[in-house]
Amino acid sequence: YIQKCARTVFAQTLKEIEYVFVDDGSTDNGIDLLQQEIRKFPERFSDISIIRHERNRGISAARQTAFDRATGEYILAMDSDDYIVPEMLEQLYNEALVSGADIVFCDFVSETENKSIRKNFSFSPSKNKLIEVAIRGESALWNKLFRRNLLTSYNIKTLDGIDHGDDLAVLVKLLFHAEKFSYLPVPFYHYIESNCQSTTKAFKPKHIDDRINLVNEVVEYLKKEEKTYQYEILLMKALRKAKILLLTNGEKQYIGLYNEINPYIFKLKVTTYTRIILILSNISIPSILKIYLWLLKKSRQIASKF
C-alpha cells in the first residue's frame, strides 16, 4: 500500500508541502518501496523526512513523532495504506486561507475489495455537534486539515500506547480549542477497508483497555467545561459501554461500567440496539444480556452499527 500512498501525496498539485514518514520499527521492505517512489519525484527530495523508530511503538507514538517534526502551518495525518486525489491538499489549504478555518473537513471514499462507497462527513459549524460527531465514530484525522499551532499552543499530544481509536482524543482536543470550521463536500480521501493487517481490523483484548482509557482522557479534558459538554460526555460513555459489552459478550466486570449514564438512557440519541444493551445491563440480568449480545453478533450487519 505504501507505494500508492506515497505516489498520490508526491503528485499533489500544491507545491509547498512538507512530508514526514515515520517507520515504526518495520521489518518488511516498506521503506525500500517508499524510496522507489521518492526517486520518481526529485523535485520533492528536499521536503521529505523519514524517521525510524528502533522498535515498534504503535500508531500513537508514530503519529506524535510526525507531529513533533512538522513545521508547516497545517497538518494532514494520513494512514500509510490509504491514498488521496491530486488536488486534495491544495483545495483544503485554499479553503482554510479563504475561510480562516482552524480545521477543514472533507468527505472520503471507503474502498473494499468489491466496491467503493462515498461517505459524507456529518459537518456542522457547531463545536458541540462536531464533538458529538467525533464521539459517534467520525473521529479519524485523515480527512481533516488542521492548524498545527492548535497542537503546540495547547500542548495536545497523542496517547502513547493507545493503538485503537487513538484519533478520538486528539480530535476532541483540537475541536475544543478551534474557533472556526469549514467543510468541502468532496471525497478527496480514499480509505482502504480491505487491508486485513490494519490495526483497526483485528480485535485484541487490549482494545477494551484502550477504549476505557480514551473515555477517561476525553472526559477529563471536557470537564474544563463540563456543563457545556454534559450530553457529549454521557453519549460517549453510553456508546463505549455498549461496544465493550458487545465485544466481551457481556463480561460481568463491564456490566457496571459508567452507571452514571443509567438515568439518561432514554434521553440519549442512540440506536435501538445500543439502548437495549444499556437497559439490560442496568437491570442486571446477565443471562438475557448475553443472549441478546449473541444474537446481535450473529448478525454482522447489526454488529457493524456499533
Residue spans of the chain under pLDDT 70: 195-204, 300-306
Per-residue DSSP letter, 184: E
* Cα atoms found within 13 Å of the Cα of residue 84, Cβ hemisphere only: 28
List pLDDT tens digits, range 199-256: 555 556 788 999 999 999 999 999 989 899 999 999 999 999 999 999 999 999 999 9
List pLDDT tens digits, range 74-84: 999 999 999 99
* Whole-structure pTM value: 0.92
The residue among 102, 120, 119 whose CA lies nearest residue 175 is: 102
**Inter-residue contact 256 to 229 (CB < 8 Å):** no
The residue among 8, 26, 4 whose CA lies nearest residue 17 is: 8
Between CA 11 and CA 150, with CA 110 as vertex, the angle to 5 degrees is: 65
Burial class (CB in 10 A: 0-12, 13-18, 19+), 279: middle
Report DSSP letters for 223-281, one per residue: GGGTTTTHHHHHHHHHHHHHHHHHHTTS-HHHHTTTGGGGGGTTTS---HHHHHHHHHH
Number of neighbouring beta carbons within 10 Å of residue 155? 7
**Inter-residue contact 21 to 51 (CB < 8 Å):** yes
The residue among 127, 105, 102 whose CA lies nearest residue 231 is: 127
- Please report the pLDDT score of residue 217 as a whole number: 95
Residue 176 to residue 178: CA distance in whole angstroms: 6
Strand 181-192 to strand 144-147: parallel, antiparallel, or no bridges (unpaired)? unpaired
- Please report the pLDDT score of residue 164 as a whole number: 79
